[in-house]
Amino acid sequence: MSHRQPGAVAIDHLHIELGTGKRRFEALQDVSLDIAPGELVCVLGPSGCGKSTLLGALAGHLAPSSGQVRVDGAAISGPHPDRGLVFQHHTLFPWQRVIDNVGFGLKMKGVSRAQRHVKARELLELVGLGGFEHSYPAQLSGGMQQRVEIARVLINHPRVMLMDEPFGALDAQTRLKMQELLLDVWARIRTTILFITHDIDEALFLADRILVMSPRPGRIIEELHIDFPRPRAPELVTSPRLPN
């Protein structure tokens, strides 16, 4: 086994234009950043600033107009399970039980049903949903559905998790629980996470580093290193030590 942990992200002078004809516009302008393997980076900025466009480029859904996007030195040429996506609203299959939703990525790889179920149960335990294997998504709360979504991404052992405001649709109490869950899971698996949010408290609670984006065209205008010790408690966000 290699001693070098996977999950290094390198973005060099990335420009992305969207739209056609007169409606064409520059969504991202000269974005460069490096993310170390196992780092948890939050991208913070106003709506429409290009945060989701940046994530789309990393996911392989959007091609650069110029510049490069690499993971572990390889240029991204399209979507891949190595880069797991979690959106604000879950994308679970409503007709499948939780255990089969979580195991879906392994089914695509040809793993047997018995093995898929063993792995899916492990992941459901990890996200605090042991005992819910045979429920359907509609029988779960919003927070529980997002736990299933996270388990479904993690079963592929992604090098990078791309999270687009994943807790934005949840109530405040559930959101806090999900933030704590994410930090707990991340402490165990240490995959690289790029987490998009427009909530400064969320970014301060989660991140090793915060990248602040400008209004469109999106550029990184500030970088904040967050040195609070881990594990972090929710009270941190109300602590006077936080920068204003």
Q: Give the confidence band of 2 by pLDDT, cuts at 50, 70, 90.
A: very low
Residue 151 has pLDDT above 60, yes or no: yes
- Beta partners for residue 14, in sequence order: 31
- Segment 201-223 mean pLDDT: 93
Rounded Cα distance between 19 and 126, Å, is: 41
For residue 237, the model assigns a pLDDT of 63
Q: Are strands 66-71 and 74-75 parallel, antiparallel or unpaired?
A: antiparallel
Residue 241 has pLDDT above 60, yes or no: no
Q: Are strands 9-18 and 25-35 parallel, antiparallel or unpaired?
A: antiparallel
Residues with Cβ within 8 Å of 143's Cβ and at least 6 positions away in sequence, in order, are: 170, 174, 177, 178
- Segment 68-74 mean pLDDT: 96
Rounded Cα distance between 25 and 99, Å, is: 43
Residue 6 has pLDDT above 60, yes or no: yes
For residue 220, the model assigns a pLDDT of 95
Which of 194, 175, 164 minimizes the C-alpha distance to 89?
164
Provide the CB-side half-sphere exposure for 26 (13 A, CA): 13
For residue 46, the model assigns a pLDDT of 85
Express each pLDDT in 119-135 by its tens digit.
999 999 999 999 999 99
pTM of the model: 0.91
Q: Give the confidence band of 3 by pLDDT, cuts at 50, 70, 90.
A: low
Extract the tokens encoding 31: 């974005």
> Where is average pLDDT lowest: 1-10, 160-169, 232-241?
232-241
Which of 195, 127, 197, 204 minimizes the C-alpha distance to 161?
195
Helix (H) or strand (E) holding 85: strand 83-86
Q: What 3-state class would DSSP assign to 192?
A: strand
Residue 21 has pLDDT above 80, yes or no: yes
| DSSP string across 173-197 | HHHHHHHHHHHHHHHHH--EEEEEE
Q: What 3-state class would DSSP assign to 173?
A: helix
Q: Which bin fits 48, alpha (ψ -120 to 50), beta or left (φ > 0)?
A: left
Rounded Cα distance between 212 and 217, Å, is: 13
